[in-house]
Structure 1
Amino acid sequence: MIPDFQSCMLPFLRKLEDGSVHSMTEIQNALIREFHLTETDIKEMLPSNRTTRFRSNVGWAKTHMQKAGLLETPQRAQYRITEAGLRLLQTRPEHINMKLLFNYPAYKEWIALSNRNSEPKRNSKQESECVIQTPDIIMEEEYKKLRNILAQDLLERILKKDPGFFEALVIKLLVAMGYGGSLNEAAGMVVGKSGDEGIDGIIKEDKLGLDNIYIQAKRWNNVVERPEVQKFVGALAGKGATKGIFITTSSFSRGAREFKPQNNIKIVLIDGNQLCEYMIDYNIGVFTANTFEVKRIDIDFFESEE
């Protein structure tokens, strides 16, 4: 799991505890080991696609502690702990966060200036802890809000359509995700309507058709309970299938999600929210209305050691 920028602060400062000058690359590598990050974690991009989430969080950790006077930059992309930073580490803090940094006058002044300039939205907890959101956090939160609104609108529209539309939607989505070969091939593998506003069908696992996946889709408003999933698994066993996808416009109960099939049968449960998330990711029922660029400082450019 990628640490947020506040979680990066203490291990970042500890890396400087020896009083030597350390490069950003050294510090990042130390944090990668500290948090046991995978290659996937390290490469995960921010929604802006301008930099990775990890690099951004480390960069903001550095900026906040530098504004508090805990570290200094003797030269570009080189960092050294200050006397104030050493004194803080001598207290053996359990963590360093923005609430703690607010005790430093220089940081408090920077926060006040940033708040006046950016005017971020706050809640009561943020007010009490004097927390300011970074630009990347603000942008990501706005992106999530817009995406959630779009997903809710998609789900409402799906529920207003007839079962045939839902059948076609499921096929298009699975083909877009790489299943079933061509759209015509996938449509031809649907084996009949169940009569309960869902579809039962078989689709190729890949374009080569090396394996088949059995599909159960229910356009429901009610929660799908465990017995429904068990019946689906029974249908799989009856057809000698080992892989299945259960899609619903509603949601699955806890019991349904915790049910573990036997006999090497594997199933994937996709609820209404996840269905709409996939539709957005694979451009099913949505299109890009417009795009715009948001310019900001390239941290990697200024942190480069060359």
Structure 2
Amino acid sequence: MENFGDLGRIEQEASLMLPILKALRRLGGRSTTQELKRSVVTNEEWLPETVLTDLKVSKRSGHQYRDFDFPFNFALRHLALAEYISRPKRGQVVLLEKGREFKGTNELLNEQVYQISRPKWQEIVEQKKRIQRKEKVSEEVEESEEAWRTNLLMALNNLTPAKFELFCRALMKQMNIAVDENIGVKVSGDGGIDGYGYLTTDDFRTTRVALQAKRWNDQKLVSSPEIDKFRGAMDKYRAEYGIFITTSSFTRDAIRASREGTRVVSLIDGERLLDLIAKYELYVTPVVTYELDDFFTTES
């Protein structure tokens, strides 16, 4: 297949439709948009691994954005218009009967989808023109919702490594993990872990949890040797469970490595980290979208 980056926008969009249906089947027919996106990139070897982290700057607004989101979201939109999937609410995707039963090639899927979706899309465009003023307000709200995610990711990347580790330990606490006050709190010399704690389940079973935190830029993905190194650190402290957090993302080899062996390592990439921060309202304040607290603007 031709390099994804060399394809035109519509070709990119069309190339993602069948992988989206396949990913939804793997995920049980229901997924969040972010989880679905990660599954597509992880399982389609022809897609560059960096598409989830590559950022560009909008000439119009000056905000950063992920170029991959445009063809991915338009592929979702056309599949929804053709009723292969549904999007019951923002951020959720559900596989419908037509999507479950489709057995053909990506080319056949494109033909069937566009035959239905393009006339519908044209109707939507015409309707938008008729209510242009109202739509402009809606677009501004949607853009602000995406802007807070970009601003938060930039703020996380601007933290010092020590402060990012502190932040990740705070996230562990929000996830009901009792954080050890001595292990993993030093800037260096803690054997390759950045946090340690104890997770007690409803049946009072306690699991030792180790944390690794990597504040890396969007061009540097976490690879499998980093996962192996973290497992070695887990051995030192007899941790049964590991959490690896990065502001970047993970290579396919790293994802495979995290699932091997007797101890699974949970991977939290930049997008999932933003979701968790919003869920637990950790150092952010919801105001229509989210307003960043002074944690991100103070030095320590």
Q: Which TM-score applies when normalising by structure 1?
A: 0.49
Q: Which TM-score applies when normalising by structure 2?
A: 0.50
Q: Pick the structure with greater CA Rg.
A: 1
